[in-house]
């Protein structure tokens, strides 16, 4: 168990370092897809921010948190599937993702759901993100906050 946890921690540090260097080297414009390993529990803040060519992200069941701005500015993403294991999506996780046509949330997710392609908290009180390719959107009547 300790060994597995240590490997996961080292991988998260490595992923952060790689993303930091890719950002500063300008390689973010060439990253097209990413398959996140099932051992990763947190997609940290800003880790894929500005990946303008990123079209595909596979978030495996096991990821529990999507950090602030994690995918902000990923204008080429067309859809996001949120697995049942994700229990925390921080503000701005998908800000500026203007290409997203729909969010799909696993029906067994305890904290989030999707309706008409938009991402909501399960109780429908918080609208997290609407699809980016629409001209108008009608909020669900229970929404009290948008972020």
Has domain 2-112 been given CATH number 3.80.10.10? Answer: yes
Q: What angle do CA 24, 27, 30 make, to 5 degrees?
A: 155
Q: Cα separation of 89 and 60, whole Å?
A: 15
**C-beta of residue 62 within 8 angstroms of C-beta of residue 84:** no
**Residues in a beta bridge with 56:** 33
Q: Which residue has the tokens 């009290």?
A: 144
Domain residue ranges of the chain, discontinuous segments joined by +: 2-112
pLDDT at position 129, please? 94
Q: Cα separation of 95 and 87, whole Å?
A: 19
pLDDT at position 25, please? 45
- 40, two tokens: 């990763």
Instruction: Count how many residues are written for the chain.
Output: 147
Q: For residue 100, count other CB atoms closer than 10 A to its CB.
A: 23
pLDDT at position 138, please? 84
Q: Cα separation of 105 and 50, whole Å?
A: 23
Q: Residue 80's closest CA among 71, 90, 88, 68?
A: 71
Query: Mean pLDDT in each 10-residue stretch from start to end of the chain (147 residues)?
Result: 51 55 53 87 90 91 96 92 98 94 97 96 96 82 89
């Amino acid at each position: 168990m300790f060994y597995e946890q240590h490997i996961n921690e080292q991988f998260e540090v490595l992923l952060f370092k790689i993303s930091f260097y890719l950002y500063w080297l300008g390689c973010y414009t060439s990253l097209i897809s990413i398959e996140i390993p099932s051992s990763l529990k947190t997609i940290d803040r800003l880790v894929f921010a500005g990946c303008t060519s990123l079209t595909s992200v596979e978030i495996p069941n096991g990821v529990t948190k999507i950090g602030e701005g994690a995918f902000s500015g990923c204008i080429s993403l067309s859809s996001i599937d949120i697995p049942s294991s994700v229990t925390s999506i921080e503000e701005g996780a998908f800000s500026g993702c203007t290409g997203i046509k729909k969010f799909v949330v696993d029906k067994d997710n305890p904290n989030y759901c999707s309706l008409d392609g938009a991402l909501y908290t399960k109780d429908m009180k918080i609208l997290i993100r609407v699809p980016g390719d629409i001209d108008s959107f009608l909020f669900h009547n229970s929404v009290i906050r948008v972020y």
